[in-house]
Amino acid sequence: MRGMLSDILVVDLTRHLAGPFCTMILSDMGANVIKIEMPPDGDDSRAGGPFIKGEAGYFLSINRGKKGITLDLKTEEGKEILRRLIEKGDVLIESFRPGVMERLGFAYEEVAKMNPCIIYASLTGFGQYGPFREKGAYDVVIQGYGGTISITGNPGGEPVRVGFSIGDIAASLYTTIAVLGALHVRDQTGKGQYLDIAMLDCQVALLENALMRYTIAGEIPQPLGTKHPALAPFQVYQAMDGYFTVCAPHDKQFDALCQVLGIGDVSKENRFASNRLRVENLEELNTILCGIFKQNTRAYWIDVLEKAGVPAGPINNMKEVVDSPQIKAREMIVQVEHPIAGKIRLAGCPIKASLTPCSVQGPPPVLGQDTERVLKLLGYTEDQIAYFRHKKIV
Amino acid sequence: MRGMLSDILVVDLTRHLAGPFCTMILSDMGANVIKIEMPPDGDDSRAGGPFIKGEAGYFLSINRGKKGITLDLKTEEGKEILRRLIEKGDVLIESFRPGVMERLGFAYEEVAKMNPCIIYASLTGFGQYGPFREKGAYDVVIQGYGGTISITGNPGGEPVRVGFSIGDIAASLYTTIAVLGALHVRDQTGKGQYLDIAMLDCQVALLENALMRYTIAGEIPQPLGTKHPALAPFQVYQAMDGYFTVCAPHDKQFDALCQVLGIGDVSKENRFASNRLRVENLEELNTILCGIFKQNTRAYWIDVLEKAGVPAGPINNMKEVVDSPQIKAREMIVQVEHPIAGKIRLAGCPIKASLTPCSVQGPPPVLGQDTERVLKLLGYTEDQIAYFRHKKIV
């Protein structure tokens, strides 16, 4: 079956994480993504571990389904090859620092002359304008600038970074949204446009409640461990044999929780009579709850709470995630056969669509594996390709 | 100027966080979003603090730009009103538990009969199929099930939840992507489709490197504080007066870092000669770096490191985020005038588009503020509307 974007050609000039994660989603949605890498080493993430038969797990995890070509954009011939690709492309995505594409001769204004319908997205740390535009950024720098680290961690404890690279990935997801929104505009009007996405902006866009607590209440939110600032109970608790999650912010759920714990009277106490009061008096409430939860196992509590309609669950590690029957049923771990690394397992695509399903289009590319095929499609002869190889342009 | 989705009508049956965050993005992109709330109290998030003049910050932070109507979907008249809306709609998004829409008479098959072009997205905790489909979920439950909590926090420390609700918001972003992908299909073929998005799936989709470390290397990743598993140095360090971020995973950046710190020789040592070796020998490296960073202030280090081309930055709190000149320049804090709460400041939209800019379409709706206007557009008379009000259907 055709994918959602089977008619779309993406010229992918991105490296590291944020851009490739975006073009991986577009590929899962069926787009033909041509990933362009600088010879001789390609994307820096090809040096990121863990390694399997010399192949980098970092790269493998975010580049499946793309075609891979090498191209030295500093040469005239390399630029001409990119021009031909742009003429055929629907979307161009790049993640160089501001000014680099301009210096290469591929600023949006130039690219729009080559192909006025193209959607051109730039994904950077701080965006194309503003006093910080020249600054370099990586995930942890953005998690710091964007406020994420200030609200993640234990109260008074050491700083904590979100364990996956949300500084990058938030920008990947918003860039995907921006490109698809622009595609709808193009479908209606035939017009392309320029999209400027900053990792920092995307981080700020996720702050919801924490930002509101400052702008409305003048409070500077602090890390809360696993607690929620506006809902209670809503956190991780400790059972006899380890941690588990419990959420009962609604009165009905809280009643059910108290019944299960054999403390039906507690849910009738004034100090716990509403979510708002439970948030205010959480310390007192937790003195009661923690004492009881310690008396039995995680599995016991999760079972009885779920049966009572109280959302609860385990703290899964990666093995438990991979082994989860739900994650299996949803095909959220997919296997691809890589020509060098062999069978590898990756996270699947979470978009389950009835008419145009998403699917992994193939393994991550070996460096330059599709160079010849793509150059031939662009009209180059074998002799020309041999010349490009000789001159190390591809 | 028109937005990207100015021609799109979204029938929004979502509550809490994940769904409303998605329809907020669609609204920022220009869609006409009609938020349907159950009388008499509406969306549960109207009870989530902090409060300003009785209005809930939780609700305000994720519902701007939507029209708000009340509708009791358990009544025949309420169902008929929803049917009329669906006939006019382009997209329907709902976040009830699996089975609820079916029981109300609005399963996808039924809705597709009313409007075959409609894009219908269901957003739930665990999805429409699989052994966990009936389970309830909130953010922290999903962060637990999805592996996020297992990799976030300090080594050996208490569990930590990501400070914003990434369990919800990841699903918001993927649902937005799914809807826009389906819109492209509809633009090409005229056909709508059904989209089934699960918070758990979306959480797993973000795990990148951590999942790979298990599937490739058999390792079960643990919390790493602010460190990165595959890049070094890449973390938070402590200066004389507090914490700041430093990233120098590339050899060139690491050389520059060592020069700035007056330890040029260190970058030439075999044990630190590549990113891979620095990851392996990070403890030894940090013994050196931590000793030096403590001798000066955050501001000093950020300044000299940036000048040397080494990405570095502060750990901003919410006040510092709001006050940041870059965030101001990017208009990432926007002000809207709410009829009751007055002027409120919200996070802006991070999609900066040249042809069809995103913008906040208006304040979050007061409960039922647009009921009359929307019902009139659907063809109802004043008498009918008065009857609906009398019967508490709206």
The full DSSP string for B246-274 is EE--SHHHHHHHHHHTT-GGGGGSGGGSS
Inter-chain contacts counted by CB atoms under 8 A, chains A and B: 564
Residues in chain A predicted with pLDDT less than 50, given as ranges, are: none
The whole-number pLDDT of residue A1 equals 55
The whole-number pLDDT of residue B48 equals 85
Type of residue at B314:
P
The CATH 3.40.50.10540 portion of chain A extends over 9-206+326-390
Active-site residue, A228 included: yes
Helix (H) or strand (E) holding B214: helix B208-217
**A150·B329 Cβ contact <8 A:** no
The CATH 3.30.1540.10 portion of chain A extends over 234-316
Whole-number Å distance between alpha carbons of B24 and A280: 29
Q: What's the sign of the alpha-carbon dihedral A59, A60, A64, A67?
A: positive
For A204, the closest chain B residue by CA position comes to B347
Active-site pick, A228, A250, A338, A390? A228
- CB of B351 within 8 Å of any CB in chain A? yes
The whole-number pLDDT of residue B1 equals 54
Q: Per CATH, the architecture of B9-206+351-390 is what?
A: 3-Layer(aba) Sandwich (3.40)
Dump pLDDT digits (tens) for B106-121.
999 999 999 999 999 9
Dump pLDDT digits (tens) for B67-99.
999 999 999 999 999 999 999 999 999 999 999
Is CATH 3.30.1540.10 correct for A234-316? Answer: yes
- CB of A186 within 8 Å of any CB in chain B? no
Mutate to test the interface with B, among A8, A27, A160 (most CBs of B within 10 A): A160
Rg (CA), chain B: 25
Q: Does the pLDDT of residue B394 top 80, yes or no? A: yes
Of B167, B220, B313, which Cα lies nearest the Cα of A159?
Answer: B313
Question: And the tokens for B61?
Answer: 């932070």
Dump pLDDT digits (tens) for B242-281.
999 999 999 999 999 999 999 999 999 999 999 999 999 9
Q: Does the pLDDT of residue B322 top 60, yes or no? A: yes
Q: What share of chain B is helix, strand, coil (3-state, %, to 5)?
A: 45, 15, 40
The whole-number pLDDT of residue A316 equals 98
The CATH 3.30.1540.10 portion of chain B extends over 234-318
The whole-number pLDDT of residue B49 equals 83
Listed by number, the residues of chain A in 236-265 with a beta carbon closer than 8 Å to a beta carbon of chain B are 236, 243-245, 247, 249-250
Cβ-Cβ contacts under 8 Å for B29 (sequence gap 6 or more):
A177, A181, B3, B4, B5, B349, B351, B358
Q: Which of the four CATH numbers 3.40.50.10540, 3.40.50.150, 3.30.420.40, 3.10.290.10 does domain A9-206+326-390 have?
A: 3.40.50.10540
Mutate to test the interface with B, among A59, A128, A321, A328 (most CBs of B within 10 A): A321
pLDDT class of B2 with cuts at 50, 70, 90: confident
What's the longest Cα–Cα distance across chain A? 85
CATH class, B234-318 region: alpha beta
Listed by number, the residues of chain B in 28-57 with a beta carbon closer than 8 Å to a beta carbon of chain A are 29, 44, 47-52, 57
Question: pTM value?
Answer: 0.98
Q: HSE (CB half, 13 Å, CA atoms) of A245? A: 32
Cβ-Cβ contacts under 8 Å for B155 (sequence gap 6 or more):
B222, B223, B224, B225
